[in-house]
Structure 1
Amino acid sequence: MNNFSIISSILDNDFYKFTMQNAVIKLFPSVKTRYELINRGNHFFPKNFANSIRENIDKMSNLKLSNEEKIYLKKYCTCLDSSYIDFLEKYRYNPKEVFISQKGGNIKIYIEGLWSRTILWEVPIMAIISELYYKLTNSNNISNIKIISSTKKKLNIYKKLKVRIGEYGTRRRFSYNVQKLVLKIIKKEKYPFFTGSSNVHFSHIFSRSPIGTQGHEWIMLHAAKYGLNIADRIAMENWLNIYQGELGIALSDTYTSSIFFKNFNKKLANAFKGVRHDSGDPVIFIKEVIKHYKKFNINPLKKIIVFSDNLNPKKISNITAFCKKKIIPFFGIGTNFTNDVGLSPMNIVIKMVSALFKKKWISVIKLSNVKEKSTGKKNMLILARKNIHYIK
């Protein structure tokens, strides 16, 4: 049994969870959802691992927004209105929404309840699983001195490239302390092109605005309600209505990029500041984005691509070279910052799998540009892949 709390602040979460929660409260307040843990890496968990997760989750019921954190949100997260911040101040995690079981080395986790509540569970639970896994399997990481040296080396590479970067590593971090150490190094090095962290708690600690916009589940829910072929468009339109042009990065691969571009019409292409790439060949995607913008007589050099798919210095260098004088790149670096400690990072995700509409549970899928990142029932994915080529 462990006697420490891995999650010690309600803000120890990714910013896009709060921005989506704000939108969900306004547009889908009565929708219920279900999420499940997907063990992509087939990790074997030690005995009583589920009990350790449960202990940490139960402790999260005590978390609440402090007055200091509330003041921070009002100052640094101006896209969140006062009614939402008041909601968050009253919000408490309910551990009864999380169901955990273990059989041998396998664990099962599912989360069920109002989407406006359950949306905050995913990232902290993944951070809990990751940190506990390394602690309870006696996986010793490299020393802080080596982490500092490695992070500085990466920053020097990025500095020479003059690339804008952000830190996106909460969900698969080696530990809370490693993530904090990496952000301390970035601050100390005064890296000129660092735009911030997606983690709101650490952004508060370091007095910066957090970064992030929306996740795949925002579009997945729209697909369950409106259909796969128009989900991207309606999700983007709803996002624009909520945020009036702020947080203007469109997510491009919930139902493959080909479907996204069919939905990304001239109005939306102009309204959004750019797009996010999270799966598939980045060079092919860059070419597709530029071609799409030019079709609408939009100058690609005034638009951004946010890259967030398993980045490292070599990938960033290659992507930067290809983007030069074509389009503006930005890089959201996750695991390579917060779990580059000489061990294999965990390969787990928690994804929405169904949504309740009119007393009927509707299966939810994600049809990524790459098969291994797709989620949902196999028969639904097969059907979607067959039909996707016929969507006009």
Structure 2
Amino acid sequence: MVDISGRVWSHKWKIDPIVRSLIDTDFYKLLMCQSVFRNKRDTQVTFSLINRSSDVPLAKLIDEGELREQLDHVRSLSLSRGESTWLRGNTFYGKRQMFSPDFMEWFEALRLPDYHLERVGDQYELTFEGSWPEVMLWEIPALAVLMELRGRAVLHQMKKFELQVLYARATTKLWEKVETLRGLDGLRIADFGTRRRHSYLWQDWAVQAMVEGLGEKFVGTSNCLIAKNRDLEAIGTNAHELPMVYAALAKTDAELAQSPYLVLSDWQEEHDGNLRIILPDTYGTQGFLQRAPAWLAGWTGMRIDSGDPAKGAEEAIAWWTSRGEDPTKKLVIFSDGLDVQKIVELQKQFAGRVQTSFGWGTLLTNDFRGLVPQDRLAPFSLVCKAVKAGGQPTVKLSDNPNKAMGPAAEIKRYKRVFGVSVQTPIEVVV
């Protein structure tokens, strides 16, 4: 097992680059990328870094030269032969050849496009512009680079034994969480922590701890590189990015109202019988379910990613029941800001009523809260989102208004089109 504190102490970035591979990313990005490659290949999209935690001054903490070095390293990466073989030949979700030959030929030739970086006050403005399937693959590595560089800035100030004590405490903290989850009947849980991880080495260690501590209750990781190297299931389906871009491309209010379902129609055509998980909250779960076409009720399950998770699961159960479906045969995936206490609570609340699974993210792979003075290693809310598509701004409403994004006038229009009224703000933890 890697001595992480020793590696941090003696680290040289060319030995431990923050992003080591183009598949050091989340599985859902590759699945979505293939869908975009087939359906919207020439769409021009802009992604932008958004620091929701404005009290974390990234431009003061992270050296611009070091940031550029790491981003340039990401641009130098391409698929290795072994990575290509794994993607082409592995079985994902029971399906061989999940990735088509034409997509793989494109991906094997890919180098990520250029970026735009400038300092604005105490923050960095980092954007990526270009064809959608190319620039979308910047999201995860960009977040991983910023998160880890911020952590390295703190770790660089610590001495050798301080680092050893820090990682001993973090290791104990994580293992105690694993021990709590070990006794939870019926648990199914996956690692969703790539984008805001403490580091690649720490995420890899956390995954190994879950494998050893939870056995079959740990169902896999969203990180493709770790899944490949550790012979684990790669976990993931789709995300808010798809409906946000499809909606921005809509030319009328009527097209806008139908855009979330057009996304899923394209998805179903591509993955017939597989990966049929609904993510309903981009423009409000309640309205989405009320207007949903009949064929969506037959999908496998639903992911709850904003708002009150228990309320979201109750809405899902009620909707399936109203459509003549048996909720006990459906899957609810919880994935928003989870930690052990909430996982235990939700599992016990919905056991026997619906099948449950948990995508455990930042507080699995980056919970260093309370371990250094001033809490300088506490995780914070950093995202990289599609902010423009086809020349038009994107909008996300969410079930939590604190996660909403887009120009005020467009948010108002989207709320009218999708029938979203008063929402209850919930603190965004990570």
TM-score norm. by structure 2 comes to 0.85
Q: CA deviation at 1:381?
A: 1.2
- Per the alignment, residue 401 of structure 2 pairs with 371
Q: Would you say how many aligned residue pairs link Structure 1 and Structure 2? A: 383
Q: Which residue of 1 aligns with 2:8?
A: none
Q: Residues of 1 paired with 2:287 and 2:354: CA distance? A: 22
CA distance in 1, matches of 2:282, 2:75: 32
d(CA) in 2 for partners of 1:262, 1:234:
16
The one of 96, 105, 108 aligned to 1:89: 108
Code of the residue aligned with 2:308 in structure 1: it is D
| Alpha-carbon distance in structure 2 between the residues aligned to 1:48 and 1:16 | 29
Q: 330, 333, 340: which is aligned to 1:303?
A: 330
The corresponding residue for 2:383 is 349
Aligned residue number for residue 152 of structure 1: 175
What is the CA-CA distance between 1:190 and the residue it aligns to? 5.2
Counterpart among 253, 261, 273 of residue 233 in structure 1? 261
Q: Which amino acid is 2:44 matched to?
A: K
Question: SS of the residue aligned with 1:230?
Answer: helix
1:1-392 counterparts in 2 under 5 A?
3-4=13-14, 5-42=17-54, 43-45=56-58, 46=60, 49-73=63-87, 74-77=89-92, 78=96, 79-94=98-113, 96=114, 98-138=115-155, 143-162=166-185, 163-189=187-213, 191-226=215-250, 227-270=255-298, 272-342=299-369, 343-356=377-390, 361-389=391-419
Quick one: distance in 1 between partners of 2:229 and 2:148?
21
CA distance in 1, matches of 2:32, 2:262: 15
Is the Cα–Cα contact under 8 Å of residues 76 and 208 in structure 1 kept in the other structure? no
Identity across matched positions, percent: 28
Look up the equivalent residue of 1:351 and give its one-letter code.
K
Check whether the contact 2:333–2:357 (CA below 8 A) recurs between aligned residues. Answer: yes
Q: Residues 160 and 47 from structure 1, CA distance in 2 versus in 1: closer, same or farther, beyond 3 angstroms? A: closer
Q: Once the 2 structures are TM-superposed, how far is the Cα of residue 87 of structure 1 from its aligned partner?
A: 1.9
2:427 equivalent in structure 1: none
Distance 1:377 1:268, change over 3 A: same
Alignment partners' CA distance in 2, 1:101 and 1:207: 40
Q: Deviations over 1:202-248 (max 9, x none)?
A: 10110122100111011111112234321221111110001112111
CA contact (8 A) 1:294 1:300 kept: yes
Which deviations, in whole Å up to 9, do the C-alpha atoms of 1:46-92 show, x marking residues without a partner? 26633322111111222111111112112144322232222211111
Is residue 148–residue 185 contact of structure 1 (8 Å, CA) maintained in 2? no
Consecutive unaligned residues of structure 1, counting only runs of 5 or more, are none
Asked whether the 8 Å contact 2:182–2:213 carries over to 1, the reply is no
Cα distance in 2 for partners of 1:280, 1:381 equals 18
Distance (whole Å) between structure 2 residues aligned to residue 267 and residue 103 of structure 1: 47
Corresponding residue SS for 2:146: helix
C-alpha distance in structure 1 between counterparts of 2:409 and 2:378, whole Å: 31
Partner Cα distance (2:229, 2:103) in 1: 21
User: Any idea what SS the aligned residue of 2:257 has?
Assistant: coil
**AA in 2 matched with 1:127:** A
2:62/2:150 contact within 8 Å kept: no
Q: How far apart, CA to CA, are the structure 1 residues paired with 2:77 and 2:22?
A: 6
- In structure 2, the gaps of 5 or more residues are 1-11, 370-376, 422-430
Instruction: Report SS of the residue matched to 2:137.
Output: coil
SS at match of 2:368: coil
Cα distance in 2, alignment partners of residues 390 and 15 from structure 1: 31
